[in-house]
Amino acid sequence: MHPLLARDLDSLPELLEEVRGYAAGVLGGLADRPVTRPAVPSSSAASLPVEGAGTKGALDRFAERWEPGFSGSAGPRYLGFVTGGATPASLAGDWLTGTFDQNPTSRADSAATELERETLGWLRGLFGLGEEHHGMFVSGATMSNFTGLAIAREWLGERLGVSVTTDGVAALGTVPVLSGAAHSSVGKALSMLGLGRGALRPVPLLPGREAVDVGRLAEALAALDGRPAIVVANAGTVNTVDFDDLRAVAALKDRFPFWLHVDAAFGGFAALSPRHAHLLEGLEAADSVCVDLHKWLNVPYDAAVQFTRRPDLQVAAFHNASPYLGMPTGDPDPVHLTPENSRRLRALATWFTLAAYGRAGHREIVERNAAEASRLGEALEAHPSFRLLAPVRLNVVCFTLAGAPAQERVDALLRHVAASGEAFLTPTVYAGVPAVRAAFSNWRTTASDTARVLAALDEAAASPA
Ligand SMILES: *Cc1c(COP(=O)(O)O)cnc(C)c1O
């Protein structure tokens, strides 16, 4: 054994203690750490060391060279994109994921796949889905959309009497994929699946909304003359957290042949809040469902879940049969269900946070985040420098500067806020207007954080660009 490995092995408990202390320091200061850091110039990338420094040496080097450039994205005032943090229990689960380093591909050697199964059952209950929905862990909502749409592709083949898994996607011809305000990752998934980004046919939205006009969707389906299609329904859009009327979309299945995929990446968590759960009515009718876990469940990256009613088609798409991995018979091993072959046991962080806080704890996070979003929305509405672009439906505030601001003014506002270190918000364009999104999805965020975000916005709006 290399002497540095041998030394680290000998002093493993002390090394872990050292890292624990370091991590505790980082997390202890998270609420007051600058939310964003200027990018570290990359001019002087170090070369690969021939002789290493050992774990302690690497930790010192990281702390000195890299840590100062890391953002407070796990903290309470990082409102960019849709970014969750990591609950204490999920972090513990994540540490233990690396500690045990299981590879839950098969059920042959470990209970890890059973823990995964238990966790998937818990998630299914959390989102109000039933036994007919089979779940699997994937790395994020993009991969969950990819997996759901891969199963949809198999289903189209079944309808058309061809096997995509054997004959390739060309056997399908062109595939219509209909959606209102689909997330950009749907186009990416269609590209990866060989269906093509061009397969996506946007369906008109309701006036002033990001929800699909179900009447126009019915017309688009009728125009297909009985050709099977994929419908991607959206449960929580990134700009204004709008929801398609899932029940009305699902009801169209009685009239037209289509696979219903629902992207509920973060909107799925509306199920935890009795005030908002109605937004998901009809979700149980979906053929496949995408929900992110590293956003609103607040587990560390990377984790999402995908559910489907057709695990048989999932096996058709993803099976990885070989004498050394086993065959996909009976109760197929996860290796036959996921895009990956080897995987980390990402279920463990989710298991920990659900075991630690239960439905009630996670409901409290969702309700508190939604309340803070409302609070910020009301304050901005009353503020002479800002105006809301949409009602605050759940956890995102979509707003802009008063009047008809140019892109440069919005960019300058966001730069000013970021430079304050107090908050991080990200830009968008909504209904043609340069805009700002503030997305609340971190378990730590409280009313005092919202007050600090508002103060940073107020100061930035008053400053010359
Ligand atoms: C974030 C998001 C995605 C993509 O999620 P990743 O986990 O970043 O891959 C897809 N759909 C919606 C609605 C999202 O909010």
pLDDT digits (tens, 9 = 90+) for 272-310: 999 999 999 999 999 999 999 999 999 999 999 999 999
Query: What is residue 42's predicted lDDT score, i.e. its pLDDT?
Result: 63
Query: What is residue 404's predicted lDDT score, i.e. its pLDDT?
Result: 92
pLDDT tens digits, 129-146 = 999 999 999 999 999 999
Query: What is residue 99's predicted lDDT score, i.e. its pLDDT?
Result: 98
Query: What is residue 39's predicted lDDT score, i.e. its pLDDT?
Result: 67
> Look-up: residue for tokens 């105006």?
387
Count: domains in the chain = 1
Q: Residue 43 — very low, low, confident or very high, per pLDDT cuts 50/70/90?
A: low
Cα 368 to averaged position of ligand 1 atoms, centre (Å)? 21
Task: Return the best residue to mutate from 149, 185, 296, 398 for the ligand 1 pocket (most ligand atoms within 8 A of CB).
Answer: 185
Angstrom CA distances, 280 to 251, 264, 273, stand at 14, 9, 11
Structural contact between residues 274 and 280, judged by C-beta atoms closer than 8 angstroms = no
pLDDT over 80 at 38, yes or no: no
Residue 213, preceding peptide bond in cis (omega within 30° of 0): no
The protein residue whose alpha carbon is closest to atom 13 in ligand 1 is 265
Q: Is residue 404 part of a domain?
A: no
Q: Is residue 408 part of a domain?
A: no
Query: What is residue 37's predicted lDDT score, i.e. its pLDDT?
Result: 81
Cβ < 6 Å from ligand 1: which residues? 82, 140-142, 183, 185, 236, 238, 263, 265-266, 292, 304
What span, in angstroms and rounded, lies between the C-alpha atoms of 208 and 431?
8
Q: Is residue 80 part of a domain?
A: no
**DSSP string covering 288-336:** EEEEESTTTT---SS-EEEEES-HHHHHHHH---BTTTB---SS--GGG
pLDDT tens digits, 202-233 = 999 999 999 999 999 999 999 999 999 999 99
Query: In CATH, what number is assigned to the domain containing residue 179?
Result: 3.40.640.10
Q: Is residue 216 part of a domain?
A: yes
What span, in angstroms and rounded, lies between the C-alpha atoms of 460 and 438?
15
Helix H or strand E segment including 261: strand 258-263
Q: Is residue 134 part of a domain?
A: yes
Q: Is residue 327 part of a domain?
A: yes
Query: What is residue 138's predicted lDDT score, i.e. its pLDDT?
Result: 98
> Look-up: residue for tokens 């624990």?
20
Instruction: Determine how β-strand 177-179 pairs with β-strand 229-234.
Output: parallel
The model carries a pTM of 0.97
Give the chain's mean pLDDT.
96
What is the mean pLDDT of the segment spanning 46-74? 95
Q: Is residue 233 part of a domain?
A: yes
Q: Residue 40 — very low, low, confident or very high, per pLDDT cuts 50/70/90?
A: low
Cα 238 to averaged position of ligand 1 atoms, centre (Å)? 9
Q: Which domain holds residue 288?
A: 91-352
Q: Is residue 381 part of a domain?
A: no
Neighbours of 99 (CB within 10 A): 10
